[in-house]
Amino acid sequence: MIQLIRGFKDILPGEAGLWQHVEGTAARLFATFGYGEIRVPIMEKTELFARSIGEETDIVEKEMYTFADRGGDTLTLRPEATASIVRAYIQHKMYAGDPVHKLYTIGPMFRRERPQKGRYRQFYQIDAEVFGIAGPYIDAQMIHMLHLLFQHLAVTDVHTHLNSLGCPACRPRFREALLAMLDGVTDQLCPDCRRRKDRNPLRVLDCKVPACREAVADAPAIVDYLCADCQAHFATVTRALDQLQVPYTLDKRLVRGLDYYTRTTFELQTGVLGAQSAVAGGGRYDGLVEALGGPATPAIGFAVGFDRLVEILSRQHTMAARPPALYIAALGDAAKEQAFRWAAELLEAGIQVEMEHGDKSLKAQMKRADRLGAGHVLIVGEAELAAGVLVLRDMQTKAQRELPVAGVTAALGALLQSARNSGDDGNIS
């Protein structure tokens, strides 16, 4: 039997309800904040990711699914969404007229990482980007919106880590100080860091190898090197978060190694899954739109790890499938033909109906209705049809009532619609 690819997974109907719940919650919240949905392809020219994510990152060096297509182009399954959204922003000249655009997208990303529990090579992200706003309040508002997303999903153990990366004016000074410090500990660094250190010393700060973490424990903090403008920007962001009572920790290790990443950078962490782990991350990238060939445009964005969010939610909630309002137990061919037509009528009216398609005894059909959690069962046998009176059983109270065949769907429609309106709608619990 052919199995799915290692590192990939199926999302089965029982779990898909949670995914829909998260998607719906994010879409409603983001719409309130003025974000519109954008859907970009899952594949782009490799060059786009190489240029935007950076040649010297783990993602580009080791993790991308890259292949030559039959026309000779080199294509890559997107490892993240920002690059594609920036490309779309530039390609469709979305900056013309009003440069301010707030966009979000939800979908699969692909990275060939070492498979481990809870990590998939096709993983999902909720991604939001804002273009055209340089001021600091949008940074705080984005972090606020992220916190609200977790609040709306009832994930409470979430904490923001925050840092500023400065700008091209002030970062070189920090880079020099960092490089001087790293030169003293070179022999303690992992091979990757030793190789990258001179071209991209900031990357060492965010290396996960324990020896590297220890070696940079006393590294200088970038916030001590900010220029006056970057300082003022960061002060406003933190003050705004204080006012909104969004908790955060200043974290000097939180860096991104590429020049177009600027100023505010953040990561949301949670301890729900055991050790602290990141569930969302983002920051400003004021230089990226220009680096990819667009006009100089400030921008900021974040990505939420959808898989991990669902994993957290699945520990806290179950998502019950909505049970059918009615199960029609039909006995005999004539009854089944009649039941089929009634079921179709009720389904057209939006009422969830199930019926037996095989030849089962009444007892077996009642058992199935029970297992499905059906609200009511309509019993349709040859005798009932001949008498012109059907039996409707309320599965909760076990009460039975008789319904005349004439006008039965209208009667059922009214009855089941009102039962459904007052009942549980298959919501998260």
Closer to Zn ion by Cβ: residue 201 or 324: 201
Establish if 54 lies at the interface with Zn ion (CB under 5 A): no
* The binder of Zn ion chosen from 193, 319, 331, 390 (CB under 5 A): 193
Residue 203, token pair as written in the block? 């990357």
Is 196 within any annotated ligand binding site?
Answer: no
**Alpha carbon distances (Å) from 105 to 30, 80, 84, 186, 302:** 10, 11, 11, 41, 11
Assess 325 for contact with Zn ion (CB under 5 A): no
Q: Is 37 annotated as a binding residue?
A: no
Beta-carbon contacts of residue 106 (< 8 Å; ≥ 6 apart): 23, 26, 27, 37, 124, 125, 126, 127, 306
250 contributes a contact to Zn ion by CB under 5 A: no
Element (H, E) at 125: strand 122-131
Query: Based on CB atoms, which residue is closest to Zn ion, 28 or 195?
Result: 195
Q: Among residues 120, 140, 124, which one has the least CA distance to residue 300?
A: 140
CA atoms of 347 and 353, how far apart (whole Å): 6
> Is 405 a residue that touches Zn ion (CB under 5 A)?
no
The reply on whether position 411 binds Zn ion by CB under 5 A is no
For residues 209 and 306, give the distance between their C-alpha atoms in angstroms, rounded to a whole number. Answer: 25
Is position 212 an interface residue for Zn ion (rule: CB under 5 A)?
yes
Say if residues 181 and 173 touch (Cβ distance below 8 Å): no
Residue from 38, 230, 272, 353 touching Zn ion (CB under 5 A): that is 230
Regarding 207 and contact with Zn ion (CB under 5 A), the answer is yes
255 binds Zn ion (CB under 5 A): no
**In this complex, which beta carbon is closest to Zn ion, that of residue 58 or of residue 394?**
58
Verify binding: residue 166, Zn ion, rule CB under 5 A.
yes
Nearest to 28 by CA among 156, 149, 151: 149
Question: Which lies closer to Zn ion via its Cβ, residue 169 or residue 410?
Answer: 169
What are the beta bridge partners of residue 177?
Answer: none
Among 27, 42, 75, 227, binds Zn ion (CB under 5 A): 227
Least distance from Zn ion to the Cβ atom of residue 164, Å: 8
Chain position carrying tokens 């007892």:
363
Under rule CB under 5 A, residue 301 binds Zn ion = no
Which one of 42-50, 65-73, 170-178, 396-404 is the stretch in contact with Zn ion (CB under 5 A)?
170-178
Question: Which CB, 38 or 254, lies closer to Zn ion?
Answer: 254
| Residue 82 among known ligand-binding residues | yes
256 is in an annotated binding site: yes
Q: At residue 218, what are phi and psi to the nearest 5 degrees?
A: -105, 20
**d(Cα 154, Cα 18) in Å, to the nearest integer?**
13
Nearer CB in complex with Zn ion: 169/414 = 169
Single out the residue of 362, 297, 301 nearest to residue 329, CA to CA.
Answer: 362
Pairing of strands 299-305, 389-394: unpaired
Report yes or no: 326 and 403 within 8 Å, Cβ to Cβ.
no
Among 42, 75, 179, 190, binds Zn ion (CB under 5 A): 190
Q: How many residues bind Zn ion (CB under 5 A)?
A: 11
**Do 249 and 162 touch, CB atoms closer than 8 A?**
yes
Quick check: 51 and 291 in contact, CB under 8 A? yes
SS3 146: helix
Residue 260 assigned to a binding site: yes
Task: Tell me: does residue 209 bind Zn ion (CB under 5 A).
Answer: yes
- Can residue 201 be called a binding residue for Zn ion (CB under 5 A)? no
DSSP class of residue 396 equals T
377 is a contact residue toward Zn ion (CB under 5 A): no
Stretch that binds Zn ion, among 173-181, 182-190, 293-301, 413-421 (CB under 5 A): 182-190
Alpha carbon distance 380, 338 (integer Å)? 9
Q: Please, what is the minimum distance in Å from the beta carbon of residue 185 to Zn ion?
A: 11
Applying CB under 5 A, does 326 fall inside the site for Zn ion? no
Q: Based on the shown chain and the rule CB under 5 A, indicate whether residue 320 belongs to the binding site for Zn ion.
A: no
Q: Which residue, 213 or 368, is less far from Zn ion as judged by CB?
A: 213
Q: How far is CA 225 from CA 161, 167, 168, 222, 265, in A?
A: 19, 10, 12, 5, 16
* Among residues 169, 180, 250, 386, the one that binds Zn ion under rule CB under 5 A: 169
Q: Is 330 in the site for Zn ion (CB under 5 A)?
A: no
Q: Is 328 in the site for Zn ion (CB under 5 A)?
A: no
Q: Which residues are annotated as a binding site for L-histidine?
A: 80-82, 111, 125, 129, 256, 260-261
Residues that bind Zn ion (CB under 5 A): 166-167, 169-170, 190, 193, 207, 209, 212, 227, 230
